[in-house]
Amino acid sequence: MWDDLRAHHARTGRRRFETLFDDRRAKDYSVRVGDMFFDYSKTNIDAEARALLIDLLEQAKVAERREAMFSGEAINETEGRAVLHTALRNLDGGPIKVGGQDVMPEVRTTLKRMETFAEKVRSGAFKGQGGAITDVINIGIGGSDLGPAMAVRALSPYHDGPRGHFVSNVDPGDIADVLRRCDPATTLVIVASKTFTTIETMTNAHTARAWMSEAVQDPAAQFVALSTSKSRTEAFGIPAERVFGFADWVGGRYSVWGPIGLSLMIAIGPDAFRAFLRGGQEMDRHFRAADWHENMPALLALVGIWHAQVCSYATRAVLPYDNRLGRLPAYLQQLEMESNGKRVSMDGADLTVQSGPIVWGEPGTNGQHAFYQLIHQGTRIVPCEFMIAARGHEDELHHQQQLLIANCLAQSEALMKGRSLEVARAMMEKAGLEGDELERQARHRVFEGNRPSTTLAYPRLDPFSLGQIIALYEHRVFVEGVILGINSFDQWGVELGKELATALQPIIEGKKPGTGKDGSTAGLIDYLQRHGA
């Protein structure tokens, strides 16, 4: 099937996909979920390519794997775990069993506990030593930081709770800058670590507790733990009623739907958080029920497979024309690159195709004045994924939203149409140039075009639509992973660096000799020690 797809691309890759447009293409190469709209017509995918891609999806048995995931089977085979972040947003569904045990009663109990605590913080019933909580600091890293930090920023128009802050980096500047802005007597600290051993998170947690202890008699009284380790949270001083655990079938980068989302719930309130869950739930139901030709996550995945594995485009740019989604590209970097950045298939054999692409991006219109030059005229083709809301939250600035929309649509149109040398020559001739100078200047103004993009549109960025967007991309990653034959739910590539850092720390501190280290590492240790490390 891969050979058929590559052969089709070889036959059609040079054509201008602008010529594919007829009266039906825009409709036939777009799909809706509720009020959300996904357009993939500005790509070189035609009916034959789509049919081959769907055959590839069916050959990989995506439907069977999908049902195994939703049913609680241990599809994370290298760790022997189920993959059930979808259960965290299963508000109206039936039982989901893992090992014969229905997990939904515990999910609902935990959600209710979160809601009760969030309301106490928001209402002022839960107080710090200095009174009602004014600031919440979430300390985590990876999925324990990227998810809630992204969502709190995205939903800032709904933020009516205490101020939210996020600390993730072990760089001392990260936590120092946050603590400087807070009053320890009215600050709540949330420590997010499943095992309560994550070195960066626990280092920052101890720093925050030391900071708070200088002004607060019982600093642990203003700490919350998002963890499954009762012994370690108890040793830290956090009582069981302020510990919110989650099962091992919730991966870190998929965890914002549960206790890791507590900082989001405190910021926007339990009702808005439930709307966020319902958005994810709607996308789940669509993903399970829709035919492949109308299945938004599957089609988004197939577009990704076409560009990355068939066309060999090494990167994809996520370009939200929604400034509050400024952290979404970073969130999707982890979701996609940690999930599908693998080199071996499920059975341990080397992959025969490239794994997931490099994911990057920034909000528009900022990116237009930064890296769009490369996207439009560079030698590498970068598939672009635009996002745009029909309405912003600032109705009095509706004209700016219209300008934003015009910019978003203009970019995707320009990527497709480009500008020919003939048109550029005519422009320069009109400007009064002639001869070699006309030719030289014209060539600088040529845009090849024929550069693919997709657009995801939604009425307004609210909790429900954000839930839809995140679940859409989660399922996209799942489908791509199944097609590639890999396990999207482990992350062994994170481990080696951690092990080496642990071994290096005592050498940096001067407690152990650096014998056996390579010349580069030894030289860097020497330099950094001599300059203050």
Catalytic residues: 338, 369, 498
Closest CA to 133 of 180, 211, 189, 206: 189
The owner of tokens 């929604």 is: 322
The owner of tokens 């693998």 is: 342
Parallel, antiparallel or unpaired: strands 36-39 and 97-98: unpaired
Estimate to the nearest angstrom the gap between the alpha carbon of 39 and the chain centroid: 20
Closest CA to 454 of 400, 359, 388: 388
Q: What CA–CA distance (Å, rounded) separates 457 from 257?
A: 23
Please tell me whether residue 326 adopts helix, strand or coil conformation: coil
Closest CA to 168 of 193, 204, 135: 204
In what helix (H) or strand (E) does residue 32 lie, and over which residues does it extend? strand 30-33
Q: What CA–CA distance (Å, rounded) separates 425 from 232?
A: 71
Task: Name the token pair of 10.
Answer: 């070889």
Exposure string over 310-320, b if 16+ CB within 10 A, otherwise e: bbebeebbbbb
* Secondary structure (DSSP) of 408-462: HHHHHHHHHH-B-HHHHHHHHHHTT--HHHHHHHHHHT-B-----EEEEEES---
Q: What CA–CA distance (Å, rounded) separates 349 from 343?
A: 9
Q: What percent of the residues of the chain are helix, what percent strand, and what percent coil, each to the nearest 5?
A: 55, 10, 35
Contact 143, 254 (CB under 8 A): yes
Q: What CA–CA distance (Å, rounded) separates 438 from 431?
A: 9
Contact 525, 510 (CB under 8 A): no
DSSP code, position 335: I
Q: What CA–CA distance (Å, rounded) separates 230 from 234?
A: 6
Q: What CA–CA distance (Å, rounded) separates 407 from 321?
A: 9
Q: Which residues contact 24 (CB under 8 A, 6 or more apart)?
A: none
Neighbour tally for 471: CB within 10 Å: 27
Contact 470, 256 (CB under 8 A): yes
Contact 113, 240 (CB under 8 A): no
